[in-house]
């Protein structure tokens, strides 16, 4: 069996550890590199020790040298770090799975440009359930008549630094695109004070941060006399890690191009 060599960025974080656990459990995958920031207290330690299964891969901060021999880098870090890692991967011909959120429009364009040379799966949420939810939102947004107000509510743990979540924004984009709208023109991010009546055709966003909530997302379509709620709740990061390694396997069959989880799961 040919093993797929996967490197993990932000390997000592919550998602990084879960991804390494998922790789260790798979017969066709091998952890080829575990990467962290130069000031990480975990440098030079066995990455497998973080998950209870020593593997001989030492945590390192030198991406340029450590990524040698890797087929795919899975990155759930911060935008600045991901873009730095992207430059190394593009130079080295290493594919990327990007689950980082919070990119600006200009930063997303850098990712699109890099996909001319390497294959990239870029998605705000790797969960199978969430990506099915995106399809359900298309159906609802297309079928419901005008007059249904749309609100998106998301909740995450206290450590999440961007808001609304990338998943919530993608939900808004799916609904807006299906209805022929530009999300930038119709989105309302929070309300305070005397706001007046709700403007027609807008899409509202509400953000909750607290405790250890892994990720809850709801799209509310509120009409007169009824409302439809489409909800996804993640109870474990395992669902995102499983999606990420599934995306890595998908990239093994690609030479270059920009993909998302809809492509990976055959939903498009």
Segments making up each domain of the chain, as ranges: 4-122+237-264, 128-234
From CA 261, how far away is CA 265, in angstroms rounded? 6
Catalytic residue among 156, 181, 217, 232, which? 156
Retrieve residue 191's tokens: 């309300």
Retrieve residue 139's tokens: 């159906």
Q: What 3-state DSSP class applies to 91? A: helix
pLDDT tens series, the chain, 268 aa: 689 999 999 999 999 999 999 999 999 999 999 999 999 999 999 898 887 777 889 999 998 889 989 999 999 999 999 999 999 999 999 999 999 988 999 999 999 999 999 999 999 889 999 999 999 999 999 999 888 999 999 999 999 999 999 999 999 999 999 999 999 999 999 889 999 999 889 999 999 999 999 999 999 999 999 999 999 999 999 999 999 999 999 999 999 999 999 999 988 7
Residue positions in the annotated binding site? 10-15, 36, 99-101, 123-126, 157, 166-167
Q: Which pLDDT score is estimated for 193?
A: 93
Annotated catalytic, 159?
no
- Other CB atoms within 10 Å distance of the CB of residue 37: 14
Tell me if the domain spanning 128-234 has CATH number 3.40.50.2300: no
Residue carrying the six token digits 């998943």: 167
Are 202 and 152 in contact by the 8 Å Cβ rule? The answer is: no
Instruction: Write the CB contacts of 240 (distance below 8 Å, at least 6 apart in sequence).
Output: 15, 18, 76, 99, 125, 126, 127, 234
Q: Which pLDDT score is estimated for 125?
A: 87
Q: Which pLDDT score is estimated for 54?
A: 78
Residue positions in the annotated binding site for NAD(+)? 10-15, 36, 99-101, 123-126
Count of all residues that appear for the chain in the document: 268
Are 214 and 235 in contact by the 8 Å Cβ rule? The answer is: yes
Nearest to 56 by CA among 44, 41, 65: 44
From CA 220, how far away is CA 55, in angstroms rounded? 45
- Other CB atoms within 10 Å distance of the CB of residue 1: 5
- Domain 4-122+237-264 fold is Rossmann fold (3.40.50)
Annotated catalytic, 156?
yes
């Amino acid at each position: 069996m040919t093993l797929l060599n996967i490197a993990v960025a932000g390997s000592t974080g919550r998602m990084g550890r879960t991804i390494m656990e998922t790789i260790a459990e798979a017969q066709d995958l091998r952890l080829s590199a575990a990467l962290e920031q130069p000031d990480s207290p975990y440098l030079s330690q066995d990455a497998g020790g973080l998950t209870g299964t020593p593997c001989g891969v030492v945590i390192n901060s030198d991406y340029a040298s450590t990524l040698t021999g890797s087929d795919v880098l899975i990155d759930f870090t911060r935008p600045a770090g991901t873009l730095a890692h992207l430059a190394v991967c593009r130079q080295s011909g290493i594919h990327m799975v990007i689950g980082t959120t919070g990119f600006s429009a200009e930063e997303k364009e850098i990712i699109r440009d890099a996909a001319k040379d390497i294959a990239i799966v870029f998605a705000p949420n790797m969960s199978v359930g969430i990506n099915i939810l995106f399809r359900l939102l298309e159906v609802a947004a297309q079928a419901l008549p005008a007059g249904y107000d749309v609100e998106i509510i998301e909740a995450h743990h206290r450590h999440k630094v961007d808001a609304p979540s990338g998943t919530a924004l993608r939900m808004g984009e799916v609904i807006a695109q299906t209805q022929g709208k530009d999300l930038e023109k119709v989105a309302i991010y929070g309300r305070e004070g005397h706001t007046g009546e709700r403007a027609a055709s807008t899409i509202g966003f509400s953000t909750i941060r607290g405790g250890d909530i892994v990720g809850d997302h709801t799209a509310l379509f509120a009409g007169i006399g009824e409302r439809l709620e489409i909800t996804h709740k993640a109870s474990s990061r395992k669902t995102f890690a499983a999606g990420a390694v599934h995306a890595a396997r998908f990239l093994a069959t690609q030479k270059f191009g920009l993909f998302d989880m809809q492509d990976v799961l055959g939903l498009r």
